[in-house]
Amino acid sequence: MRLHINVDHVATLRNARGTPYPDPIEAARMCLDAGAHGITAHLREDRRHIRDNDVERLRATLRSTFNLEMASTDEMIDIACKVVPDVVTLVPERREERTTEGGLEVAKAPPALRTHVEKLRAADIKVSLFIAPDLAQVEASHALGVEQIELHTGEYAHAAGDAEVEKRELARLAAASTRGRELGLEIAAGHGLTTKNVGALVAIPEIVELNIGHAVVADAVFIGLPGAVRAMLAAIDKGRARR
C-alpha cells in the first residue's frame, strides 16, 4: 500500500497570509521522511493553493513519486509535459467548488480527454483518472488506455457514522476495484479519508494507493506533520491486518 500525501493545504495556509511559509516543499520532505511513499499536489486553474513554482520545485527536489493532479485542459497538459511528474491524475474541476466534488465523467467524455491522455503517455507520464466507483466509468477509463484509476471515496467518507451508507459505498468501491483489476488497472483511492475511516477502506485488497491531504494537514496542527503521517500509516496497517 502506497500512501501519497497531498500537500495542497499547506499551500492554502501559506497563501492565506501571502507569506513564504509554511512551504509545501518542506512539508513534502517531512512527509517522506516520516514514511509516506509519495507526494500529491493539485495545480488548480485558479491557483488557489499550489502554484506553478511549487510544482517546479516539487519536481526538482522530490526523489519519490510525484503525483500531479490537474484538470483535463490544454494549459494543464502543456504544464505537465514540461514538468514531467511521475504520475498525472486527471480530475474534474469547477471553480466554485471547495474541493474536487465528483469523479471525472469518462464514459461520456469529450474527445479532448483522449487527446490529453495520449499526450501525457507520449511524454512518458503515467496517467490516472479520478472517477466515481461506477463500473461504466471504470470500463471507460480502461478503454482510454490509462494505467491507473483513483476511486473517489467522498461518498463513503461523508457517510460518517451512517452504517448503512458506509456499507453500500464500500460495496461500490469494492466492485469497482475488482472490475478495475480484472481489466488490468492499478487501483488508487482518495478523498475525505481520515485515520478513522481509512481502515475499512483498505480492507479492499485491490486498492494499492491512497491519496490523502486535508485530514493529515489538519491532524498536523495538533500533533505535527511527521506524527500525522505516522498515525495515518498506523491506521492503514491496522486496517490491512483486519482483512
Sequential DSSP letters for 126-172: EEEEEE-S-HHHHHHHHHTT-SEEEEE-HHHHHTTT-HHHHHHHHHH
SS3 state at 241? helix
Minimum CB separation of residue 229 from ligand PXP in Å reads: 13
Residues of the shown chain interacting with ligand PXP in the complex, contacts defined by CB under 6 A: 6, 8, 42, 69, 89, 91, 99-100, 130, 150, 190-193, 211-215
3 state SS for 74-137:
HHHHHHHHHHCCCEEEEECCCCCCCCCCCCCCCCCCCHHHHHHHHHHHHCCCEEEEEECCCHHH
Minimum CB separation of residue 242 from ligand PXP in Å reads: 21
Identify which of 202, 234, 213, 196 has the alpha carbon closest to the alpha carbon of residue 31.
213
Q: Which of 9, 42, 142, 152 is catalytic?
A: 42
Active-site annotation holds for 42: yes
Minimum CB separation of residue 149 from ligand PXP in Å reads: 11
Q: What is the rounded CA–CA span in Å between residue 173 and residue 192?
A: 14
Q: Which of 49, 186, 191, 209 is catalytic?
A: 191
Active-site annotation holds for 26: no
Q: What is the rounded CA–CA span in Å between residue 239 and residue 175?
A: 19
Q: Which of 69, 93, 155, 186 is catalytic?
A: 69
Minimum CB separation of residue 59 from ligand PXP in Å reads: 18
Minimum CB separation of residue 99 from ligand PXP in Å reads: 5
With 0-12 CB in 10 A as exposed, 13-18 as middle and 19+ as buried, what is 26? middle
What the block records as the C-alpha cell of 36 is: 509516506
Active-site annotation holds for 49: no
Instruction: Please check whether residue 7 is in contact with residue 41, taking contact to mean a CB–CB distance below 8 angstroms.
Output: yes
Minimum CB separation of residue 67 from ligand PXP in Å reads: 9
SS3 state at 39? strand
The residues annotated as belonging to the active site are: 42, 69, 191
